[in-house]
A and B are shown apart, each in its own frame.
Chain A
Amino acid sequence: MTPILHNYLVVGSVLFVLGAIGFLTRRNLIIVVLCVEMMLQGVALNLVAFGAYHRSFSGQVFTIMMLTVAACEAALALALVLALYRRQRTLDVSVWQTLREPEVEPEVEETPPEEPPPPPPEFPRLTPAGLEPKSNQAEEAAHV
């Protein structure tokens, strides 16, 4: 196995596992779906690397198919996320645990302590420059 293929495979697997960890840990529905997309990216990298290794276009064709499926999946997943959001007005995954066994206690998430509000954004301010315009009164007075 050429080192170059090996390296691509390593990067692909790292992306895949990072996506998996994100899928496991994040509670925001949208981020969960994003993580799935990242896992798909890892897989796509693997396919392309193998395709190049075998000098075959099959890998790329397969990746194109995957791209198609990923697009479908993203569209459907986001539609579902929207539908779910409309139901509960939250993106929290923990809301959706009604499929648990009846005997099992529902998982209650500990609410993290309230963070201090972020400091108000500092917008750049231009230092005052040039002459201060004359007051209208003086002008009016001059007219008069």
Chain B
Amino acid sequence: MLSPLLASWLTSLRDVGLVLLPLAVGMTALWLLLPQARPRQVLISAFIAGTAALLVGGLVLLRGTGPDVPLLFDVLFWVFALLAVASGVAMIVQRNPVYSALWFAQVVLSTCGLFLLQAAWFLAAATVIVYAGAIVVTFLFVIMLAQQTGLAPYDRQAREPLLACIAGFALLAALQYAVSTAGKTSPDTVQVFAQPRQLPKVQQVLEEVRSRVKAGESPDDTGKLLYLQAAQPESFVGNILFQLAETLPPKERKQERDVCEAANAKISRARLTENAEMMVEGLDQLLALSQRLELRFGKSPLSRLREPHVASLGQSLYGDYLWAVEIAGTLLLVATVGAIVIALRRQEEAA
């Protein structure tokens, strides 16, 4: 007879094993690929790396993707993700620093693709410009300034590749464990954040309560139905709508928040005073809000791409985070001065 604790442990052990296996295989490939004294076994390494990729693919198929993700997004994600990881591997195993820098540019470009999929257009563009455009070029300049002819011994020999791979494996496993268990963490933190896909459920609840109140039932009793999970204040539909309104672009945000607050206040007053009329009024307002929000967020992620992102980002950046922007600008200035001072060849040095 297994105790429930042990059973849950075994279950999680199986999950962990499923994740660990491709990780271990991938790390082995990485270890073989890292520059070492012995000649590199490219074929074997590539084979092992391919196995790892296949294992990851199998794992993905096993788990399935989300229901609301269209196929195009899925395919694009996998392409960019694979490109990013493969370029990352290539970057750290390259013996020639110039190639490393170029692979890094590739990593940055793939990441920018992923940014695009997350509707972060401005960020994608900025990253391409700053990283691929400025930073990688600076790196290449420095490599040119400092590079010796041929491959230097320190480029041909990695330090403690096995140990580093084991440590990296441990860290990655811990991260995967954390990422995969984060959704299952303690119930208090579950569903703190409202999701647009809760909107249909919210509307359903609102309409049911509205019809019941109209039929003459007590507003206070039926009001208890307004919680998606029993007695969880954060699952109160009014709160969910409020949180969703919070994520709107600033202009609409204020307006919709006020509407939601007024409606919530009305409902709680109506429940206290058993005022059916007021209750219906509040419920109507919330229903209208939820319909507006549904239109706003749409049913698919694609709809998000149509929103004016750059403008909203700018409003957030120069509205909510103005101070941080100013400080970051100062930091850039200071760093520029510092870099010049450090890199400047001093008189006595030059002499």
Contacts and interface: CB of A to CB of B under 8 A. Distances in A.
- Are chains A and B touching directly in their complex (CB below 8 angstroms)? yes
Contact of A69 (B122, B127, B331): B331
A67 to B, nearest CB: 6
B34 interface: yes
B154 A25 contact: no
A86 to B, nearest CB: 7
Interface in A65-87: 65, 67-76, 78-83, 85-86
Given A56-B247, A74-B138, A4 B66 contact: yes
B299 to A, nearest CB: 14
Contact of B175 (A13, A79, A112): A13
Given A30-B143, A76-B339, A24 B164 contact: yes
Contact of A75 (B91, B120, B167, B336): B336
B108 interface: yes
A110 B171 contact: no
A55 B100 CA distance: 35
Given A11-B84, A17-B168, A30 B142 contact: yes
A67 B108 CA distance: 12
Nearest to A68: B328
Contacts of B339: 75-76, 78-79
A69 B135 contact: no
A17 B171 contact: yes
B88 A19 contact: yes
B119 A52 contact: yes
A18 B92 contact: yes
Interface string B218-254: 0000000000000000000000000010110000000
Interface in B119-142: 119-120, 122-123, 126-127, 130-131, 134-135, 138-139, 142
Contacts of A92: 152-154
Nearest to B163: A24
Nearest to A72: B335
- Give the interface size bracket for A toward B: 35 or more
Contacts of A64: 123, 126, 317
A27, A60, A83 — most chain B CB neighbours (10 Å): A60
Contact of A52 (B118, B297, B335): B118
Contact of A37 (B34, B36, B104, B175): B104
A138 interface: no
Interface in A1-58: 1-4, 6-11, 13-22, 24-28, 30-31, 33-35, 37-38, 41, 44-45, 48-49, 51-58
B157 A68 contact: no
Contacts of B279: none
Contacts of B150: 117
17 contacts: A11-B85, A33-B139, A34-B91, A34-B104, A48-B115, A53-B193, A55-B244, A56-B246, A57-B317, A61-B321, A68-B329, A68-B332, A71-B335, A73-B335, A80-B342, A82-B342, A86-B349
Interface of B: 30, 34, 36-37, 60, 63-66, 69, 73, 77, 81, 84-85, 88-89, 91-92, 97, 100-101, 104, 107-108, 111, 114-115, 118-120, 122-123, 126-127, 130-131, 134-135, 138-139, 142-143, 145-146, 148, 150-161, 163-165, 167-168, 171-172, 175-176, 179-180, 182-183, 193, 196, 244, 246-247, 297, 301, 312-313, 316-317, 320-321, 324, 328-329, 331-332, 334-336, 338-340, 342-343, 345, 349
4 smallest A-B Cβ distances: which pairs? A22-B92, A72-B335, A55-B247, A1-B183
